[in-house]
Amino acid sequence: MMIPQNLTDFVVIGAGAAGLMTARELARAGKRVTILEARDRCGGRIYPLPVEEFGYLAEGGAEFVHGTAPVTRALMREARLSLSSRGGTRWSVRTGVLSPADSSLPHAGQFYRALREVKIDLSIAEFLETHFADRRYDELRRSIIRTVEGYDAADPRRTSTLALRDEWLGRDEGQHGRIAEGYGALIEYLSSECRRNGAALHLGAAVMAIAEAHGRIAVRCYDGAMFVADAAILAVPLPLLSEIALLPAARERVALTGDIGFGNVVKILLRFATKWWADHGGQDLADLSFLLSDATVPTWWTQHPAGYPVLTGWLAGPKADRVSSLTEAELINTGLASLAEIFDLSLDRIRRNLVAARAINWGNDRFARGAYSYATPRTREAQAVLRKPSGDAIFFCGEALYAGPDMGTVEAALASGSETAQTILAAGP
Ligand SMILES: Cc1cc2nc3c(=O)[nH]c(=O)nc-3n(C[C@H](O)[C@H](O)[C@H](O)COP(=O)(O)OP(=O)(O)OC[C@H]3O[C@@H](n4cnc5c(N)ncnc54)[C@H](O)[C@@H]3O)c2cc1C
């Protein structure tokens, strides 16, 4: 179906990276744009914490720029932001012993050969059971499952093997890093661009329903506010789409979101008085970057090369779902206990050094309901239907709608936002 012509007036729902990018592009092309954001801030899953809390611009949500990320980097250049590289040494703990991490995958040749031969998609758990069930592959299976759960925040029983193959074999050589001025600076730039181009931004405007009104689109917020436009662009996280009442055709498309995976992450930030881990029983961990373990909170990282005495813990995928009932204080305690176990220190000693702490369970965040998406064997088909204009003047965008290899990232959100605007503008008079 065609996109309706003469669309001039738009409501963009959600002021995360995707929504702001769409709004900026439409406003820049002379369209009238109103942005409705449920929170009292822009950025969504980009969530900078106050500098006073951790001594630097700590990130409660997205932190890294992964690989070449062309849309992100182009925007960074425009906004005059710089990338700081990561560096440092990765360590891992096995059977109580800390050592520099061996990143090589056991049986790698065989694994990638089998991966290349997959013709019909299946979950990565099924793939491992089919080809690598034997005990001698225990370590290989463990390593793959850990990556899928920990990095992709995904359930291995649902994760698409073909999507993982694209991700792993197509990995670009781009440098990984952080935005020196923080991801928040990118959001500030985008929102100032929206304002400069005449877009109106309403914070605290949680959308409840979208209906038709005399051939136009009426968007209603929980507080009763109503906005009427030619078209609406839904740039909210995937789980939130089912919470907004929609027109029947759009509701049918939203039913397909069940075919797109959406995983959870708990991020724990701990600020200490000193970098107590730098000297660990004679081992020099001063340049520690990442630390991988089997503790309850298994993954930790520092801000190296910056020397802030802060450790960030990461619990993702099905493991994060299992702690959904814990309070923030309980999650912080779980993090401290994991560190005590990893470094074989008393919990008290570590706790005495603690200056500030935050634990953010994104699954319990009312306007996110999880961390980010991943591909199941049915995702590409669902995305294609959701992305295709259906003639009802309702568009979907956001990281989960991005069909490229880096689903679940800020890059995916920005690229999706930009593509949505281009689709709309290309159909214009
Ligand atoms: C802990 C964590 C770590 C991450 N780490 C990285 C990383 O290192 N690198 C990376 O590239 N990516 C990372 N990501 C993923 C990245 O943050 C997201 O992919 C990206 O920010 C999503 O942008 P978006 O615009 O699609 O969605 P969002 O940022 O979620 O924006 C959607 C907006 O919609 C609003 N909204 C929701 N419901 C309503 C409603 N009913 N009415 C109005 N507004 C509504 C929300 O408040 C939100 O502001 C991480 C995510 C998390 C949670």
Q: Report CA(61)–ligand 1 centroid distance (Å).
A: 8
Q: Nearest residue CA, atom 26 of ligand 1? A: 398
Question: 163: which strand partners?
Answer: none
* Distance of CA 14 from the midpoint of ligand 1 (Å): 9
**Which atom, in ligand 1's list, is nearest to the CA of 208?**
41
Least Cα distance to 163 among 151, 173, 175 occurs for: 151
- Residue 58: per-residue pLDDT: 98
- The confidence score (pLDDT) of residue 406 equals 85
Alpha helices in 151-260 (DSSP H): 161-169, 183-196, 238-241, 248-254
Query: What domains can you pick out in the chain, each with its CATH number?
Result: 9-46+181-260+375-427 (3.50.50.60), 106-169 (no CATH)
At 389, list the tokens: 């204009």
Provide, for the chain, the percentages of residues in helix, strand and coil under a 3-state DSSP scheme, each rounded to the nearest 5.
35, 25, 40
User: Which ligand 1 atom is the nearest neighbour of the CA of 18?
Assistant: 25
Q: State residue 96's pLDDT score.
A: 79
- How far is ligand 1, taken at its centre, from the CA of residue 43, in Å? 7
Q: Give residue 363 CA to ligand 1 midpoint distance, Å.
A: 12
Ligand 1 geometric centre to CA of 233 (Å):
16
Q: Are 257 and 241 in contact (CB under 8 A)?
A: yes
Atom 48 (ligand 1) nearest CA: 44
Determine the residue of 208, 236, 241, 365 to mutate for testing ligand 1's pocket, defined as the one with the most ligand atoms within 8 A of the Cβ atom.
236
For the segment 210-244, what is each residue's pLDDT rounded down to a tens digit?
999 998 999 999 999 999 999 999 999 999 999 99
Tokens of 363: 């699954």
Q: Please tell me the distance between residue 10's alpha carbon and the centre of ligand 1 in angstroms.
A: 21
In tens, the pLDDT along 240-299 reads 999 999 999 999 999 999 999 999 999 999 999 999 999 988 889 999 999 999 999 999
- Residue 64 alpha carbon to ligand 1 centre in Å: 14
What span, in angstroms and rounded, lies between the C-alpha atoms of 42 and 272?
29
Task: Say yes or no to pLDDT of 95 above 90.
Answer: no
Q: What pLDDT, in 10s, does the model give residues 19-77?
A: 999 999 999 999 999 999 999 999 999 999 999 999 999 999 999 999 899 999 999 99
Reported confidence tier of residue 156, pLDDT bands at 50, 70, 90: very high
Atom of ligand 1 nearest to the CA of 69: 11
Give tens-digit pLDDT for 163-192. Answer: 999 988 887 767 789 999 999 999 999 999
The confidence score (pLDDT) of residue 260 equals 98
Q: pLDDT over 90 for what percent of the chain?
A: 86
Residue 1 pLDDT > 60: no
Name the pairing type of β-strands 83-85 and 177-179: antiparallel
Which of 66, 208, 410 for mutating ligand 1's site (highest number of atoms within 8 Å of CB)?
A: 410
Neighbouring CB atoms inside 10 A of 330's CB total 12
pTM above 0.95, yes or no: yes
Pocket lining: 49 vs ligand 1, CB cutoff 6 Å: no
Q: In angstroms, what CA-CA distances link 48 with 60, 68, 179, 312? A: 6, 23, 12, 14
Report how far ligand 1's centroid is from the alpha carbon of 285 (Å): 33
269 touches ligand 1 (CB under 6 Å): no
Average pLDDT, the chain: 94
CB 399 near ligand 1, within 6 Å: yes
Ligand 1 pocket, residue 409 CB under 6 Å: yes
Phi, psi (degrees; rounded to nearest 5) at 245: -70, 130
pLDDT at 404 (0 to 100)? 87
DSSP H/E element including 129: helix 124-131
Task: Give exposure, 74-112, as e/b (b: 16+ Cβ within 10 Å).
Answer: ebbeebebebeebebeebbbeeeebeebeeeeebeeebe
Separation of alpha carbons 351 and 349, rounded Å: 6
- Mean pLDDT in residue range 326-338: 98
